[in-house]
Amino acid sequence: MRTTLAAAAAALLLVASVWALDGDIGMHDPSTIVRDGSRYYVYATGAGLPVSVSDDGWTWKRAGSVMASMPGGMPGSAVVARGGNNTWAPDVMKVGDKYFLYYSAPGTQPRSAIGLLVGKTLDPLSPDYGWTDAGPVVWSDGVEDSNAIDPGIFHDPTNGSLWLTYGSYFGYIRLVELDPQSGLRRDPHRTPINVAINAEASIVIFREGWYYLLLTHGSCCAGTNSTYSIRMGRARKVGGPYLDRSGVDMLQGGGSLFLGSSGRSVGPGHFGLLDLGDGVQKFSCHFEADLDRGGTSVLDIRPLLWRDGWPVAGDNVAAGTYRLESVRTGTALELAVEGVPVGGPRAGGRRGGGPGRGGASSGRGDATPPSPIAAQDAAQMAANWPAGPLDARLAPYLLQAQQKWSLTPVANAGGYPGSPYFRISVAGTDRSLAATGDGEIAVTPTFTGAPEQLWRIDQLADGSYRLMPKAVPGRSASMALSAIGGSSPTLEPFDAGTDRHRWLLRMP
Amino acid sequence: MMRRALVAAIVVGAALRVTFAAQGVPVTPTIVSPKTATRPAGANGFLQRWLILEPIAVSGQLADSAVRATVSHQYFADQFTAVPKDGDAVTVDGQPLRWHAVDTTNYNVNLFHFAAGLKKPTSNVLFWAVTLVRVPHDIVDARLAIGSNAASVWWLNGREAVSLFNDRQTVIDDGVSKRVTLKKGVNVVRAAIVNAGGATDFCARLLDANARPITGITIDLASTP
């Protein structure tokens, strides 16, 4: 975090410096992130299944291990008998009033088992905390075309049925139906459905009539040489067939790329859906190697977008200078000061030619090409702006200084799933966007770090953004930046159904 | 674009000159004299009855500071507080100007029609407009939402609520005020619209706390705030 903040402060960046989460995020094979009460929880591979917890989804810390509450600190004997006593790659989901935690218990692969633990809460400090061993759910005997590790749980919203996918390279990714009451197999004698091959870390999600199988191809555990990538296919039925974007069946090795290595992060795997409601979806994964953390394996959370019926991996907001454009109006947020045309006011008179008019010639009748017009920035203009708090407003974007905003992550101010809070300031100045006590917005002359000056910026499913102050003075409910008028911004409770609350972050 | 607007203005202006009514507001394509004592807000909440002062000649500069200077200049007594009646007159630079009660047949009030129908200039002018909105009960977190061609400044019950600057076309809900409370009874909406050249008009309505148009309110120009 410190490194990335330093980089962000180094310049008004136009480059996409995206950083991983803050805190103790070193982990491998993370589960789906689940919120219980006011906290987020994630479980991962390791001795006793390590638990990590976060109050805000940005800063994480270790919170012991699952098996610490189990007799002997290890999987139950029936699970060990079918597989082994390792504890890898769990997944967790709340079904009804119970949490089902499935975990891998491999012996010598592909002999392995997936065990089930049942609990009432994820909070280790709760008096109701504790896990009950429900035994093995599925297993592989070491010879068959399956390696029963890497569970992924899916609760079908269309009918309430519960499903488990599992498998890792030795043969197939398999699907079995579970009993939502017990978490065990609904029909243990039914043959598992093969849905993919030569992959691991599978999980199913659903959207608008399609079942999507997300899984991981490539090799893990080789640091910066890990070839892990997250792949996808979709089907009209939960049992498949799952075809990738090219129509290749995932049972025959298909799988379109969802997320590969990029930036400072190598080898993503173990997709998990984090649905925050209000149309805001994110996904979790781990990267095999984070170059900013010495190539260690880390948890990450990124926006989940949808395009043409397929999931798309978004990027968390990068520090830089942007124009903030309303999806509804097409106008851009600006400090409410009298703008000056770039290049200075034009001379009156005829069309074409002249400074700022973009004429095809110099207007002097010779062949001299027009001179470039320098960009306008706050250093040129800010001395003429009134002091003190000013309004913000919307206007056609004209490349003017008061229309360019610097987005800068704020250290030690907390965050939200995937990102720290941001400061939004007129580029090159300390003038910062802030919520006001009457539920409106203003531009304060300085940045103090107050909650009303800290902004949460979530990318939405269509790629646009929601901007929300961390707090609105005197109000308990959260509010989002709204283009309520073509020239007028305000704050309103977020409504995913209106373009008023959607913004584009564009290069200035 | 501006040149096309001017051509259109000349054509419409010629048509208007032959359609004057004998009394009251000239007959124009969209501006008529009120025929009823009161008028409810339209289905989409637009305020379609106004008192409008004949245009005042100004520079027509539209930048923020120029509009502020134009609007803040004292043209006639009590210009920020007066609630005129149809036919009232004020004197500006020695010239009498009359207030006209008008209805618009559209969602917007076409000031070009208004001025051209009176054989008054339409370019480099300032229009003052006032309307009185009767509200059946207090409405909190309401907003005044306007659009104007060109720049404009608006007041609600004596407090500035919205301002728009620069050359612009009328867009519904372009300028939207911060949250205000409409008080039970009569609320005064006042506007100053500055036009440089070409077409000129405005539209206005009130929005509720969910940004939906407020209906069920009545314009009553004979009422007393």
What residue of A is the nearest CA neighbor of B66? A338
**B28-82: pLDDT as tens digits:** 889 999 999 999 998 899 999 999 999 999 999 999 999 999 999 999 999 999 9
CA distances from B225 to A498, B83, B186, B208, B222 (A): 37, 8, 5, 21, 10
CA distance B127 to B194: 6
pLDDT of residue B52: 98
| Contact flag A488-B175 (C-beta cutoff 8 Å) | yes
Question: Where does chain A hold its CATH 2.115.10.20 domain(s)?
Answer: 20-313
What residue of A is the nearest CA neighbor of B212? A484
| Contact flag A338-B175 (C-beta cutoff 8 Å) | no
CA distance A365 to A51: 75
- Chain A closest CA to B209's CA: distance in Å? 9
Sorted by where each starts, the structural domains of chain B and their CATH numbers stand as 2-219 (2.60.120.380)
Are B80 and B90 in contact by the 8 Å Cβ rule? The answer is no
pLDDT of residue A252: 97
pLDDT of residue A345: 87
Helix, strand, coil percentages for chain A (3-state, nearest 5): 10, 40, 50
- Chain A closest CA to B23's CA: distance in Å? 39
Cα Rg of chain A (Å, integer): 26
**A305-321: pLDDT as tens digits:** 999 999 999 999 999 99
B179 contacts chain A (CB < 8 A):
yes
- The yes-or-no verdict on residue B9 having pLDDT over 80 is no
- Which of B63, B164, B178 minimises the CB distance to A487? B164
CA distances from A10 to A3, A19, A319, A481 (A): 11, 15, 10, 28
CA distance A14 to A146: 47
A492 contacts chain B (CB < 8 A):
yes
**B102-157: pLDDT as tens digits:** 999 999 999 999 999 999 999 999 999 999 999 999 999 999 999 999 999 999 99
CA distance B41 to B132: 11
Give ipTM to 2 decimals. 0.88
A275 contacts chain B (CB < 8 A):
no
Q: Going by CATH, does the domain composed of A20-313 fall within 1.25.40.10? A: no
Tell me the β-bridge partners of A433.
A443
Tell me whether residue A507 is exposed, middle or buried, using C-beta atoms within 10 angstroms of its C-beta: 0 to 12, 13 to 18, 19 or more. exposed
Strands A59-65 and A22-23: parallel
| Contact flag B174-A440 (C-beta cutoff 8 Å) | no
Segments in chain A below pLDDT 50: 1-17, 349-362
> Which residues from A are below 8 Å from B161, CB to CB?
none
CA distance A29 to A149: 11
CB neighbourhood size of A235 (10 A): 18
Global pTM? 0.91
CA distance B214 to A188: 61
- The yes-or-no verdict on residue B5 having pLDDT over 90 is no
- Chain B closest CA to A440's CA: distance in Å? 7
Select the CATH number that applies to the domain covering A320-341+374-506 from these four: 2.130.10.10, 2.80.10.50, 2.60.40.10, 3.30.930.10.
2.80.10.50
- Chain B closest CA to A491's CA: distance in Å? 10
- The yes-or-no verdict on residue B22 having pLDDT over 50 is no
pLDDT of residue B224: 86
pLDDT of residue A348: 59
- Which of A391, A398, A488, A491 to mutate to test binding with chain B, by most B CBs within 10 Å of its CB? A488
- Which of B4, B173, B212 to mutate to test binding with chain A, by most A CBs within 10 Å of its CB? B173
Token duo for residue A439 = 């539920």
Task: Please list, in sequence order, all residues whose beta carbon lies within 8 angstroms of the beta carbon of residue B36, skipping any fewer than 6 positions away.
Answer: none
CB neighbourhood size of B77 (10 A): 9
- Which of A338, A484, A485 minimises the CB distance to B64? A338
pLDDT of residue B26: 66
Q: Which helix (H) or strand (E) holds A422?
A: strand A422-426
Token duo for residue B78 = 């009590």
**A140-158: pLDDT as tens digits:** 999 999 999 999 999 999 9
Mean predicted lDDT score pLDDT of chain B: 90
pLDDT of residue A258: 98
What residue of A is the nearest CA neighbor of B173? A485
pLDDT of residue B20: 35
